[in-house]
Amino acid sequence: MRPFAPEFILAVIPDLLPYLGVTMAVALGSIVAGSLFGTLLAWAKLSASTLLRRLAVAYTYAIRCTPPIVLLFIVFYGLPKFFLEVFNVNINSYDKIFFVVVSFTLLFAAPVSEVMRSAYQSIDRGQYEAAVSSGLSPWQAFYHIVLPQAAVIGLPNFGNSVLSLLKEGSLAYTVGLVDLIGRGQMIIAHHYGAYAIETYLALALFYLLLTLGVEKSFLQLERRYSRQKHNGEEAGYGY
């Protein structure tokens, strides 16, 4: 067995670093698009229409039970076929990152819609009513009164969802996207399978720093905004 070469862990980092951008692009793209879709789902779950509610709940349930890799493969193989036959558009030549971002958007939207729904419902209805009766429009009442409070409550859970997404994003290499892990696999192949352990350790280091950084940032955000949290019990409104 070849001896372990710890210096290779450091040597491989400059080679991996440029691909951090791809990993981050997948994560950011999925977070932005997934949050939008998640908002839509949360709105559907809170809507008066039974059909919309059921659809949104069923979607969330299905995603919760689906392994990310299975969803990724279904999108990767199914979406081009679907587009070709329904819209007669050929998207086979699209970059792989497109399919990856679509998959993780679908995946991220489900937990985020739950985060949003529960955060919204945790805000007392009286807040909204008081705002509207003091002359704010329904939109203003939502935007200025309900949303800031709900955002603070939802922040920790949103952070957890982002962390899971970041880790699940590492599956993108299985459809051939050259992100951090994809590049790592290429490096290993270049060395005919040698230095696999060292490369994987370097990748683990990347992910560890990334997740710790995200975790710390969310804690910081929480600390900064929790001042605004309206706490009825502490203020003595008597529950």
Partner 1 sequence: MDINYQFLEQTFYLVLAAVPTTLNLTVTSLLLSLPLAFFMALVRLRRTRYVSGFVGAYITLLRGTPIVLQILLIYSLLPSLLHALVGTLGWTINVFDWNPILYAYLVFTLNTTALLAEVFRSALGSIERGQMEAALCAGLTKVQAYVHILIPQALVTALPNICNVTVNLIKGTSLAFLMTVKDMTAVAKVAASYGYNYIEAYLDVFAGYIIICSIVQVLFVFAESHVGRFRLIKQK
**Contact residues for partner 1, defined by CB under 8 A:** 1, 62, 64-71, 73-74, 77-78, 81-82, 85-86, 167-171, 173, 181, 196-197, 200-201, 203-204, 207-208, 211-212
Which CB atom, from 64 or from 224, has the smaller least distance to partner 1?
64
Q: Is 179 helix (H, G, I), strand (E, B) or coil?
A: coil
Q: To the nearest whole angstrom, how small is the minimum distance from the Cβ of residue 9 to partner 1?
A: 12
Report the alpha-carbon distance of residue 221 to residue 6 in Å, rounded. Answer: 36
Rounded distance between C-alpha atoms, residue 62 and residue 65, angstroms:
5
Q: How far is the CB of 210 from partner 1 (least distance, A)?
A: 8
Question: Which of residues 6 and 138 has its CB atom nearest to partner 1 in the complex?
Answer: 6
Picking from 176, 182, 174, the residue whose alpha carbon sits closest to that of residue 206 is: 182
C-alpha dihedral, 52 to 53 to 59 to 61, nearest 10°: -170
Q: Whole-number minimum distance, CB 152 to partner 1, in Å?
A: 21
Shortest distance, CB of residue 151 to partner 1, whole angstroms? 24
Residue type, 144: H
Q: The tokens of 218 are what?
A: 């969310």
Q: Which CB, 74 or 219, lies closer to partner 1? A: 74
Length of the chain: 239
Nearer to partner 1, 15 or 142 (CB): 15
Q: Are 28 and 99 in contact (CB under 8 A)?
A: no
